[in-house]
Structure 1
Amino acid sequence: MNWTLSVGMVPTGDLPELARAAEAAGWDAISVPDSVFFPEQVSADYPYSGDGKRMWAAETEMPDPLVTIAALAAVTERIRFRVSVLKVPIREPLLLAKQIATLAVLTGERLELGVGLSWMPEEFRFTGTDMRTRGARTDEAIAILRAICPGGGPQWAEFHGKHYDFDRLMVSPAPERPLPILVGGHTEPALRRAARLADGWISANLPATELPAVIARLNELRAEEGRTEGPFSVCVSPVGVSDAAGFDDLAAAGATDVWLNPWRFQGHAATDRETRLESVRRFAAEIIRR
């Protein structure tokens, strides 16, 4: 099992110290969420809470994930970084590919990109993008990211799709290893997208009791796609796990990575800087090193 520290809603200025502490304690990776803005009025329910309401105040700090990872990579040496998840269809994919390729190189190729569709109509309306085509455009964006970051450094690439089109070009710098791309989401289309196109899948706040069935379905879809060979990350953010035995059960169900806030796992709903640091170290000592 690999262990990823989720740093959503942590004050931006505290993140470098937290990243160094996680690396020293033995965490494998850090995940940074993506939220461009908070509309005052939202016309859709938040899909990852029981009542459809967001679990944070509008002024909660959510720094840009790509800028944040660049800063955290500069103060660490080993720990990997994941975006969980980047809202790809509200961004122009060729410009995004430029940012991602540069970030992959600057991090020493410690970057993994989680992608998602975005659930909020206002994000599409305010960025001038089309929510109706978000799935098809995300599929094309993944193909563009693959073309720009295939491994082996900068390569000539072209793309001719329904929504995006460009002739031969080269983006430099670009990573020497292929960029790992993971897909987030619990719906059938999201699971199919992960099985068909991705190097892994990311859950969000699912009860641990529901995860084995979802993982089993994901494996069925991977088999249908003929993609059961090779590495594939199954990243879970379980709700309701209270001890190491619960994580053992998830590993037995096929989970390869656990993503969590250790302070919430230990019962701290809101914490100060010192409590977060202590939680990171304590979880590593009691769970990860086990």
Structure 2
Amino acid sequence: MKWALSGAMIGARELLELAPAAEEAGYHSIALPDSVFYPEKVSADYPYTPDGKRMWPAEMPMPDPFITMSAMAAVTERLEFSTNVLKLPLRDPLLTAKQIATMAVLSGNRIGIGVGLSWIPEEFAFTRTEMRTRGARTDEAIEIIKAVCAGNGPEWVEYHGKHYDFDRLMISPAPDRPVPVYVGGHSEPGLRRAARAGDGWISVNVPADQLKVAIGRLAELRAGYGRSELPFEIDVSPTDVGDVAGYREIESAGATICRVTPWRIFDAEQTTAGRIGALRRFADEVIAKY
């Protein structure tokens, strides 16, 4: 099992202190969410709470994941970084691929990209992108990112899809190892996208039983696509697990990365010192014994 520290809802400068502490404590990576802005009024329910309401205030810090990942990579040597998840259809895929390629080179191939669709209509309206085509555009964007960041260094690429179309071009620098692209989502289309096109799958924060169901479905879908033998990460965040036995059980179900928030597990003080103490305690009580 690889251990990822959740970097959600933490200030940018504090993350620069948490990253070296996480590396020293033995974590594999830090995962960062993506939120471009907080609309005062939202015309859709939040899909991951019973009442459909968001569980964070407007002023909650959500630093840009790419800038923050680059900054954290500069103060660490081994720790890896990923998005959990990047709202890909809000962005131009070529510009996104350029950013990812540069981050991968600067970090020494310590970057992974988790992608999702976004559920907020206002995000699409205010960024002048189309919500209706978000799934199809995400499929094409994944292909474009993988072509640019295929691991062959700078090379000529072209793409001719329904939503994105360009002739041969080269983006430099480009990484000498492929950048993995993971797909988030518990819906059937999301699971299919992960099984068909992803290098892995990323869960939301849900109980272990729900994770096991999704992992089982992913196995069925990957077999159907003839991809069962390919490497595939399963990145989970169980809300009802906090000890070695529980993590071993979810690993036996197929999880390969576990995303944790130690300051919530231990009800620690929401300060930099409190979070560093909690991540070290989790490393001592779980990671070291695991």
Both structures adopt the same fold (TM-score exceeding 0.5): yes
**How many equivalent pairs are there?**
289
Counterpart in 1 of 2:46? 46
Counterpart in 1 of 2:271? 272
SS of aligned partner of 1:234: strand
Kindly provide the amino acid, as one letter, of the partner of residue 230 in structure 1.
L
In percent, how many aligned pairs have the same letter?
60
* 1:140 Cα offset (Å): 0.2
Stretches of structure 1 lacking an aligned partner (at least 5 in a row): none
Kindly provide the amino acid, as one letter, of the partner of residue 41 in structure 2.
Q
Distance in 1 (CA, whole Å) between partners of 2:109 and 2:137 is 26
Counterpart in 2 of 1:56? 56
Counterpart in 2 of 1:76? 76
Counterpart in 1 of 2:24? 24
> Residue by residue, what CA displacement relative to the aligned partner does 1:161-207 show, whole Å, maximum 9, x if unpaired?
00000000000000000110000000000000000000000000111
Kindly provide the amino acid, as one letter, of the partner of residue 114 in structure 2.
G
* 1:230 Cα offset (Å): 2.5
* 1:15 Cα offset (Å): 0.9
Stretches of structure 2 lacking an aligned partner (at least 5 in a row): none
SS of aligned partner of 2:201: strand
Kindly provide the amino acid, as one letter, of the partner of residue 165 in structure 1.
D
Distance in 1 (CA, whole Å) between partners of 2:209 and 2:178 is 34
Kindly provide the amino acid, as one letter, of the partner of residue 192 in structure 2.
R
SS of aligned partner of 1:45: coil
Distance in 1 (CA, whole Å) between partners of 2:12 and 2:53 is 24
* 1:272 Cα offset (Å): 1.3
1:89-238 map, 5 Å: 89-238=89-238
* 1:214 Cα offset (Å): 1.1
* 1:53 Cα offset (Å): 1.1
* 1:277 Cα offset (Å): 0.5
SS of aligned partner of 2:109: coil
Kindly provide the amino acid, as one letter, of the partner of residue 114 in structure 1.
G
* 1:242 Cα offset (Å): 3.0
Superposition RMSD on alpha carbons, in Å?
A: 0.8
* 1:265 Cα offset (Å): 1.4
> Residue by residue, what CA displacement relative to the aligned partner does 1:123-159 show, whole Å, maximum 9, x if unpaired?
0000000000000000000010011111110110000
Distance in 2 (CA, whole Å) between partners of 1:172 and 1:273 is 37
Query: Stretches of 4+ moved more than 6 A in 1?
Result: none
What TM-score do the two structures reach when normalised by structure 1? 0.98
SS of aligned partner of 2:84: strand
> Residue by residue, what CA displacement relative to the aligned partner does 1:250-273 show, whole Å, maximum 9, x if unpaired?
0111111101211111134x6111
Counterpart in 2 of 1:284? 283
SS of aligned partner of 1:139: helix
Distance in 1 (CA, whole Å) between partners of 2:123 and 2:110 is 29
Counterpart in 2 of 1:3? 3
Distance in 2 (CA, whole Å) between partners of 1:265 and 1:47 is 23
SS of aligned partner of 2:4: strand
Distance in 2 (CA, whole Å) between partners of 1:230 and 1:141 is 21
* 1:50 Cα offset (Å): 2.1
